[in-house]
Amino acid sequence: MTDTVVIFSVFFAAFTVDATVYFKEQFLDGDAWSSRWLESQHKSDYGKWKLTAGNFYGDAEKDKGLQTSQDARFYALSARFEPFSNAGKPLVIQFTVKHEQKIDCGGGYVKVFPADLDQAQMHGDSEYYIMFGPDICGYSTKKVHVIFNYKGKNHLIKKDVKCKDDELTHLYTLVLLPDQTYEVRIDGEKVESGSLEEDWDILPRKKIKDPDATKPKDWDEREKVDDPEDKKPEDWVKPENIPDPDAKKPDDWEEDMDGEWEPPMIPNPEYKGEWKPKQIPNPDYKGVWLHPEIPNPAYTADASVYTFHSIGVLGLDLWQVKSGTIFDNFLITDDVKEAEQFGEETWGATKEPEKKMKEVEEEKKRKEEEEKNKEQDTQAGDEEEEEEGEEEEEDGGATADDEEQDEEDEEGEDIPKKDEL
């Protein structure tokens, strides 16, 4: 009976623990955001931020976020919250990004810093715990960064995680679990997952190639070999090029002056190429030799690779060539369901209206462009007609003068010439 009560109590506790939200920012109180976020003073020319929902949105107020506003600038902004450790529990980092400027090169990621960060001096080399989010530059770089810091060194994910590169708002979520596994989600859908130990070179490899092992000299890795029974046909040897049988020595060819005449060469129609014996399975084939591995003496298991003991600052530390990116709906929590619900209440509620508004705006611009082109075509046609009219008037004036001269000539014909009198 006692065991039953204990089991029930544990089960009940596991499902009644409330989610902890360490940080949430939706920018719903106007310019008050500037009291919670601090711009770095490390450089004097950092780009400025503005609060806006952009040119198209799902909700004019709920979709307001921080937008980069100056081209070709570094940006450095951060917000502080109560420090915490993610030891023994999930860590979820989530936010939305909209590159409505058709971004050509720039970051859309966030950095999670330790609580001892000097926000006023935050810059690109400031040590961080986690870097997560999209990064785009040209056609070659369109990826999601997932970088973890371990013992002072940053480690990049070894997988290529593609990001969204359109102009709509997208939801990015990173889930880090105590069993040292992770998930990357975009718009609520899992796009990558795995373990920290396998997908990052954080720890040395568990096994290494045995330095004392070498491939045996008689190890045959040839899957196929030449057939020793296959012989080249006797009529196979024919030259690749032969003298043109239809060529004739020019009549003016003088051997004393031009040397001995030789007909030009042409491809031999009977040439079969280089003869090679046919291939047969190698009876001595042993397969590809695999280098034996041994336990790596430099490897030491560490169950706390995923743990960050004093998380306390979220920062936007990035570079953009063309500004216009909007960041919104930041969330740091220890509960995946909480992040999913928050994502549905924010991005999920406004994504379709935003897409619809964008389509309407694009259709409006398309029609305006068509009207503009029509006006330009009409104006060009009118100008062409005017030019043609002017040319006709010039031609008409010359004709009138010619007719007047003809009349004078006709009158002159009635007057007798001097020698006729």
* CA distance from start to end of the chain: 159
Q: Which of 326, 323, 320, 324 is nearest to 137 (CA)?
A: 320
DSSP-derived secondary structure for 102-147: --SEEE--EEEEETT--GGG--TTS--SEEEEEEEETTTEEEEEEE
Helices (H), 259-346: 336-345
Return the bridge partners of 194, or none. Answer: 182
DSSP-derived secondary structure for 325-345: EEEEEEEEES-HHHHHHHHHH
Is position 129 annotated in a ligand binding site? no
Q: Rounded to an integer, what distance in angstroms lies between the CA atom of residue 93 and that of residue 330?
A: 8
Is position 150 annotated in a ligand binding site? no
Helices (H), 201-250: none
Q: Rounded to an integer, what distance in angstroms lies between the CA atom of residue 99 and that of residue 137?
A: 12
Decide if 80 contacts 313 (C-beta within 8 A): yes
Provide the 10 A C-beta neighbour count for residue 381: 10
Reading the block at residue 323, the tokens are: 């500004």
Is position 22 annotated in a ligand binding site? no
Is position 102 annotated in a ligand binding site? no
Is position 111 annotated in a ligand binding site? yes
Give me the sign of the Cα torsion angle 52, 55, 60, 64. negative
Provide the 10 A C-beta neighbour count for residue 315: 24
Q: Rounded to an integer, what distance in angstroms lies between the CA atom of residue 315 and that of residue 107?
A: 13
Reading the block at residue 191, the tokens are: 């796009």
Q: Which of 30, 203, 173 is nearest to 110 (CA)?
A: 173
Is position 414 annotated in a ligand binding site? no
Is position 57 annotated in a ligand binding site? no
Integer CA distances (angstroms), 26 to 18, 202, 219, in order: 21, 34, 65
Is position 335 annotated in a ligand binding site? no
Is position 351 annotated in a ligand binding site? no
Instruction: Output the known binding site.
Output: 26, 62, 64, 109, 111, 128, 135, 317, 328
Instruction: Output the known binding site for an alpha-D-glucoside.
Output: 109, 111, 128, 135, 317
Instruction: Output the known binding site for Ca(2+).
Output: 26, 62, 64, 328
